[in-house]
Structure 1
Amino acid sequence: MFQSFTETAQPEQGPPRLARLRHAMAGAGLAGFLVPRADAHQGEYVAACDNRLAWLTGFTGSAGLCVVLNDVAGVFVDGRYRVQVNGQVDTGHFTPVDWPATRPGQWLAQHLPAGGPVGFDPWLWTPAQIDEIATALPDGVRLVPSDNLVDAIWQDRPPPPRGPIQPWPETLAGMTHAEKRAQLAGSLRASDTRAAVITLTDSLAWLLNIRGTDIPRNPVPQGFAILHDDGRVALFTDPAKLDDAARAHLGTEVTLATPDAFGPALDALDGPVQLDRKSAPVWVVQRLEAAGVAHTWAEDPCILPKAQKTAAEIAATRAAHLRDGAAVCEFLAWFDAQPAGTLTEIGVVTKLEQCRAATGKLLDISFDTIAGSGPNGALPHYRVTEGSDRTLHEGDLLVLDSGGQYLDGTTDITRTLPVGTPGEAERAAFTRVLQGMIAISRLRFPSGLAGRDLDALARYPLWLADQDYGHGTGHGVGVYSCVHEGPQRLSRLSEVPLTPGMILSNEPGYYREGAFGIRIENLIVVRDAAPVTRGDGATQLDFETLTFAPIDRRLIVADILSAPERAWLDTYHAACRDKIGPLLSDQSRLWLERQTTPL
């Protein structure tokens, strides 16, 4: 089992650790220290040894920052975690800060009026992040690179991960890593750049058609790489991670060295060297500058090609989603047979993971399952523990957000389920969320538009009722890779044009604090839209739905839906019967037929 919940832990409380960190700050001559939730690769998920923010503060969300000063420690979290942070940190010693409404630079200007040096670990921060903080600082407050003071006081810090690296089949990738290296090397030559430094783990995995086990739920290996303009790659990772098959897969044009050799290799480069200021550690910039190696700023060269999936990747992920959809349907049929008051959130998580494991193809879950009932459902990124586990009661809504990692694809699906008879307010809000999800699913749009241009369409039905949600409408998704993959998003903040082959989630929601939550999520892939008769002939795009599992009709107020919306839902449910039905047990297939009859 890939356990998505934790036992109720009894760790050392935050204040003694905070006191030790402040003592270390005094010894280093620092007035403050920055503790991000980050590692040297700037991924969203981190290994246990890099989860410094949780160790110091108790906050376990996937994004955040603690700014520690001598008399105050601010924990910066965004709208997804404003309720969660208050339940996890000792607010007598840590002060939650609304981020990005209040930015770290502004907060430092207010809370460090006398000025002083504020330390940061240059491995854990990018130039873009440091520049953003520095621009808001007053005279006298300065950011200075420092040894990591948390590591110095973390006596039982877990060791770095050493998970095996395995080849990912070229039949699923659609391109050999030699073809990928040659393609990107050509781009380097076209820009008169001699090499590119790659630090993102999923970029490394994509470029070399490899996968790893260093990061929980994300099948990527930790390491660094230098891509040269002739297509050669120097890979810096623990050599013990690669067996003979992995080494043979990489071939002679990919050289292998330990992470300790990364710095000397940077010193020896003949610039200019391409760096991504949004993902490369400050340490890399410092090293190149100290060695006199010229560098230029450009986006990680793997980012966009990785996002534009090949035909083989799309075919593979379709197969993974059908398998996963069948597992979800087996769970939903079981769930409907359980009387109210007999299930707990942990019981739900355990059963759903069992259904996925029963496929025989599950390699891991794609993230810790979110199973929030009643008020817990109002926490968009809630994770059940033995201490928070809640029995599902009559009238509750259950937000169930989950996914699987299969060799041929990564899935992510959310369904909101009623326990017993749902309330009218809940049904009305659910229907408005469904309208937003359908709007994105049915959309045709001109080529060149970005996520920021589409996000409002999912919110419009909620806005009419003075309702909204505090997260983006969708994120990019990999293929047997990270469940959150950039650069594309359905978000008012995203300026990346959507192009064919990009996979995204489509997940509007609504959350009433202390009462209930709602979210409906399918994955979709961008494709060229079919021509419209007597249209203008402009290039347009639309979405293909990848996820197939029924949407609970007991929560739908059918009169709110328009005729085209009802038609979309009936067509979608018919596709669920056709695609998923043959994969189900007899009992679950009968359940699916009942759940997908036309409105």
Structure 2
Amino acid sequence: MFQSFESAGDPSVGKPRVALLRQWLSDNGLDGFIVPRADEHQGEYVAPRSERLKWLTGFSGSAGVAIVLAGSAFVFVDGRYTLQVRDQVDLDVFAIESLVDNPPAAWIRENLPKSARLGFDPWLHTVGDVKALTASAEKVGATLVPLSRNPVDAIWQDQPEPPLAPAHIHPEAYAGELAKDKLKRLASAIAADGATHAVLTDPSSLAWTFNIRGGDVPHTPLALGFAVLAADGRHAVFLDKRKLGRTEEAYLTQLAAIRAPGDLENFVADLAASGARIALDPALAAERLRALVEDNGGTVVSAPDPARLPRATKNSAEVAGTRAAHRRDGAAVAKLLCWLDRQAPGSVDEIAVVTRLEESRRITGEETQMPLRDVSFATISGSGPHGAIMHYRVSHATNRVLGEGELFLLDSGAQYEDGTTDITRTVPVGTPTEEMRERYTLVLKGLIAVSAARFPAGTRGADIDPLARSALWKRGLDYAHGTGHGVGSYLAVHEGPQRIAKTGVEKLLAGMILSNEPGYYKPGQYGIRLENLILVTRPDGLAGGDIAMHGFETLTLAPFDQRMLRTDLLTREELDWLNAYHARVLAEIGPMLDGETLAWLEKAAKPIV
């Protein structure tokens, strides 16, 4: 099994551990400390050693921050976790704040006492974050204090060791480009930015650039490490050699010098002392790196991670791989949905569905000689009120059966060597209410609107986002998450910089893969989310048009539940899109199915007249 069902968070840990932290702060002349949910790489998934926020508070979400002061403590979360956080933290210890409406920098301006000394770990905050936090602290006469040792590490007695999963080479057949050619492109980009070097802090960029994969964090095939790329081609990779076999070490040695992770600080300091101009991405690079460069006489060049856009715009091999991955994955999901349709209400629980889906993906992968490497994130298997918790994670403590008259929300994904998948379907258990059917249809209208969009060059994710919400807005409804995130190629299922959201400022470029996942959530009752992955297509002309337009190709292949549809709310164009999509689903994954599952799919994908 790739997914654990242990309890996701324990509120009881907060009181004793916060007391230990406060004692440490008092002993070291500090009035408070910031604990982000982050590691040195600012990744969504972190190794067990870096789960400091969860260890201290009990909160297990993928985004959050705690601020602990002498007499108060706060946990900041976004809209995805407003219900979850209240179940996982001790509300007698922590007050809950909004990470969006009142983020730490804004909170500090209004709440941090004058002359307070607020500590932070400069490896766990980006350059941009620290700039905002420092400005807020100075405005109220407080001081932000960088620490050489994280106090949570000091009090965490059984903190796990750093991960040492084996790294492996990602084949050119799936990568589509040799690492040496990628490095030439990136070296030119670094020089064009006016830099002599660039530090890759994102392990996804390290993995993509050098065509390597690993297993240091859950659900994303990353080998944690850094790289310092040079405009003159003399690159260095900072990776524990214990992760490398002979073949992998020989391969990397041809591309860069391999150095221990502990050498990075001295290496950057020495470059800076020689007058290097070092590019750091202010949204990704740790504040500690900025300090190392500037304190040693170097110059920081503020520039985006040079691998980020090339990684986001998939080449032809990566696109072909993800199409193949989605055909296999669609077949696996169809087998699961067929099985689930046969289960009587009250006879199956959330964990059973997760286990069955993972087995379906495993078997389908074996049948097609493309093994399931991992799930791409912990499956969201939410029945009834659990579906209203946007990022619900089932555990043995929370597991519940799928009951009559409820909705069941299943958000899952897989990692295959040729592609990464992410799909959400919501299905009725027994007979849905008319309200459920209406709101399901409104959500589907949003998904179709995005899927069918045509847009000119320069369009941003923020420009597309209202299309997904328009039908909901007309009924006074909305959802508190973005509509779409970027997706990697056998890499992170949540990949930047592209996204479809109110804050999505990145231009959508051909080759980018995104999710398309509008939703609706009624707290305490049910949740609805529908999700396909989509590929930004290359621009082409429209008859009678003046300019070439981009569009989206839908990658995900699985039917929507027609029992949930209010067809009177769908336009003829929307019905035509849905019929064409279902015909394609049947044509592409039907040959991979047989017997009862094929008969189920033929019924599920039947045209709506």
| TM-score of the alignment, normalized to the shorter chain, above 0.5 | yes
Structure 2 contact 515–533 (Cα < 8 Å) conserved: yes
Partner of 1:311: 316
Structure 2 contact 438–565 (Cα < 8 Å) conserved: yes
Q: Is 1:369 matched with 2:369?
A: no
Q: CA separation in 1, counterparts of 2:6 and 2:86? A: 19
What is the RMSD of the two structures over their aligned residues, measured on CA atoms?
Answer: 1.3
SS of the aligned residue for 2:537 comes to strand
Counterpart AA for 2:477: Q
Partner of 1:396: 406
Partner of 2:14: 14
Q: CA separation in 2, counterparts of 1:446 and 1:114? A: 50
Q: CA separation in 1, counterparts of 2:475 and 2:550? A: 30
Partner of 1:234: 236
Structure 1 residue 27, shift from structure 2 partner: 1.0
Structure 1 residue 98, shift from structure 2 partner: 1.7
Partner of 2:260: 258
Structure 1 residue 391, shift from structure 2 partner: 1.0
2:594 to 585, 592, 596: 585
Counterpart AA for 1:277: P
Partner of 2:208: 206
SS of the aligned residue for 1:541 comes to coil
Partner of 2:328: 323
Aligned length: 598
Q: Is 1:120 matched with 2:123?
A: no
Q: CA separation in 2, counterparts of 1:543 and 1:409? A: 18
Structure 1 residue 101, shift from structure 2 partner: 1.0
After TM superposition, the structure 1 stretch with the greater mean CA deviation from structure 2, 351-360 or 374-383, is 351-360
Instruction: Decide whether aligned partners of structure 1 residues 208 and 534 sit closer, same or farther in structure 2, where only a CA change above 3 A counts.
Output: same
Structure 1 residue 278, shift from structure 2 partner: 1.0
Structure 1 residue 163, shift from structure 2 partner: 0.7
Partner of 2:501: 491
Structure 2 contact 74–94 (Cα < 8 Å) conserved: yes
Partner of 1:63: 63
Q: Is 1:412 matched with 2:422?
A: yes
After TM superposition, the structure 1 stretch with the greater mean CA deviation from structure 2, 353-362 or 6-15, is 6-15
Partner of 2:350: 345
After TM superposition, the structure 1 stretch with the greater mean CA deviation from structure 2, 173-182 or 240-249, is 240-249
Partner of 1:175: 177
Partner of 2:528: 518
Structure 1 contact 4–369 (Cα < 8 Å) conserved: no
Instruction: Decide whether aligned partners of structure 1 residues 101 and 9 sit closer, same or farther in structure 2, where only a CA change above 3 A counts.
Output: closer
Q: Is 1:54 matched with 2:54?
A: yes
Q: CA separation in 2, counterparts of 1:105 and 1:253? A: 41
Q: CA separation in 2, counterparts of 1:327 and 1:301? A: 36
- C-alpha distance after superposition, 1:143-193 (max 9, x if no partner): 110120000000011111001111001111111000000001112223332
Q: CA separation in 1, counterparts of 2:418 and 2:344? A: 36
Q: CA separation in 2, counterparts of 1:106 and 1:549? A: 43
SS of the aligned residue for 1:371 comes to strand
Q: CA separation in 2, counterparts of 1:394 and 1:517? A: 15
Partner of 2:218: 216
Structure 1 residue 71, shift from structure 2 partner: 0.8
Q: CA separation in 1, counterparts of 2:29 and 2:206? A: 38
Q: CA separation in 2, counterparts of 1:81 and 1:471? A: 10
Partner of 1:150: 152
Q: CA separation in 1, counterparts of 2:192 and 2:88? A: 50
After TM superposition, the structure 1 stretch with the greater mean CA deviation from structure 2, 135-144 or 554-563, is 135-144
Counterpart AA for 1:144: V
After TM superposition, the structure 1 stretch with the greater mean CA deviation from structure 2, 128-137 or 54-63, is 128-137
Structure 2 contact 30–117 (Cα < 8 Å) conserved: yes
Partner of 2:444: 434
Counterpart AA for 2:391: H
Q: CA separation in 2, counterparts of 1:115 and 1:491? A: 38
- C-alpha distance after superposition, 1:427-457 (max 9, x if no partner): 0000000000000111111111000001001
TM alignment of 1:126-165, pairs within 5 A: 126-137=126-137, 138-146=139-147, 147-165=149-167
Structure 2 contact 72–94 (Cα < 8 Å) conserved: yes
Structure 2 contact 542–549 (Cα < 8 Å) conserved: no
Structure 1 contact 8–386 (Cα < 8 Å) conserved: no
Q: Is 1:184 matched with 2:186?
A: yes
Structure 1 residue 100, shift from structure 2 partner: 1.7
Structure 2 contact 8–393 (Cα < 8 Å) conserved: no
Q: CA separation in 1, counterparts of 2:167 and 2:379? A: 25
Instruction: Decide whether aligned partners of structure 1 residues 7 and 585 sit closer, same or farther in structure 2, where only a CA change above 3 A counts.
Output: farther
Q: Is 1:274 matched with 2:279?
A: yes
SS of the aligned residue for 1:445 comes to coil
Q: Is 1:477 matched with 2:487?
A: yes
Counterpart AA for 1:217: H
Q: CA separation in 2, counterparts of 1:8 and 1:231? A: 45
Structure 1 residue 293, shift from structure 2 partner: 1.7
Structure 1 residue 131, shift from structure 2 partner: 1.4
Structure 1 residue 254, shift from structure 2 partner: 1.2
Counterpart AA for 2:338: A
SS of the aligned residue for 2:293 comes to helix
2:604 to 574, 595, 598: 595
- C-alpha distance after superposition, 1:497-550 (max 9, x if no partner): 1010000000000001111000000000001244222221x1210001100001
Q: CA separation in 2, counterparts of 1:409 and 1:596? A: 25
Counterpart AA for 1:80: R
Structure 1 residue 112, shift from structure 2 partner: 3.0
- C-alpha distance after superposition, 1:238-278 (max 9, x if no partner): 10101112123224231111111111211221411111111
Structure 2 contact 386–524 (Cα < 8 Å) conserved: yes
Q: CA separation in 1, counterparts of 2:233 and 2:404? A: 61
- C-alpha distance after superposition, 1:375-415 (max 9, x if no partner): 11001100011111111111110110000000000000000
Q: CA separation in 2, counterparts of 1:8 and 1:368? A: 11
SS of the aligned residue for 1:593 comes to helix
SS of the aligned residue for 1:428 comes to helix
Q: CA separation in 2, counterparts of 1:268 and 1:169? A: 35
- C-alpha distance after superposition, 1:287-316 (max 9, x if no partner): 122221222110010111110100110001
Q: Is 1:287 matched with 2:289?
A: no
Structure 1 contact 49–159 (Cα < 8 Å) conserved: yes
Q: CA separation in 1, counterparts of 2:330 and 2:374? A: 16
SS of the aligned residue for 2:237 comes to strand
SS of the aligned residue for 1:433 comes to helix
User: Identity percentage over the alignment?
Assistant: 48
Q: Is 1:105 matched with 2:105?
A: yes
SS of the aligned residue for 1:540 comes to coil
Structure 1 residue 7, shift from structure 2 partner: 4.8
Q: CA separation in 1, counterparts of 2:321 and 2:179? A: 18
Structure 1 residue 12, shift from structure 2 partner: 5.9
Q: CA separation in 2, counterparts of 1:316 and 1:9? A: 36
Partner of 2:555: 546
Counterpart AA for 1:583: M
Structure 1 contact 181–232 (Cα < 8 Å) conserved: no
Structure 1 residue 587, shift from structure 2 partner: 1.5
Structure 1 residue 105, shift from structure 2 partner: 2.8
Counterpart AA for 1:444: R
Q: What is the TM-score with the length of structure 2 in the denominator?
A: 0.96
Gaps of 5+ in 1: none
Structure 1 residue 421, shift from structure 2 partner: 0.5
Partner of 1:571: 580
Structure 1 contact 529–540 (Cα < 8 Å) conserved: yes
Structure 2 contact 11–89 (Cα < 8 Å) conserved: no
- C-alpha distance after superposition, 1:188-232 (max 9, x if no partner): 223332110111010100110000100100101100110011223
Structure 1 contact 109–141 (Cα < 8 Å) conserved: no
